[in-house]
Structure 1
Amino acid sequence: MRVVIQRCKQAKVTVDDQIVGEIGQGLMLLVGIAHEDTERDAIYLADKIAGLRIFEDHLGKMNDSVQDIHGEILSISQFTLYADCRKGRRPNFMGAAAPEPASALYDRFNQILREKGLTVATGRFGAEMDVSLTNWGPVTIILDSPVVSS
Structure 2
Amino acid sequence: MIRFLQALLTGVFFTFIYDFFIFLGIFQNYIKKYDIDLYYNILFADHQNFFIFALFTLMLGAVIVYLDNIKVSIIIISTLFVLSLLPLVPSIGEETAKTLLMQKNTTLHVGKYTYSGDLYYNGRKEVYFFDKELNKILRFKKEDIKDEAYK
What TM-score bracket applies, with the shorter chain setting the length?
Answer: under 0.3
Higher relative contact order (CA 8 A, sep 6+): 1
- Which TM-score applies when normalising by structure 2? 0.25
- Which TM-score applies when normalising by structure 1? 0.25
Name the larger-Rg structure.
2
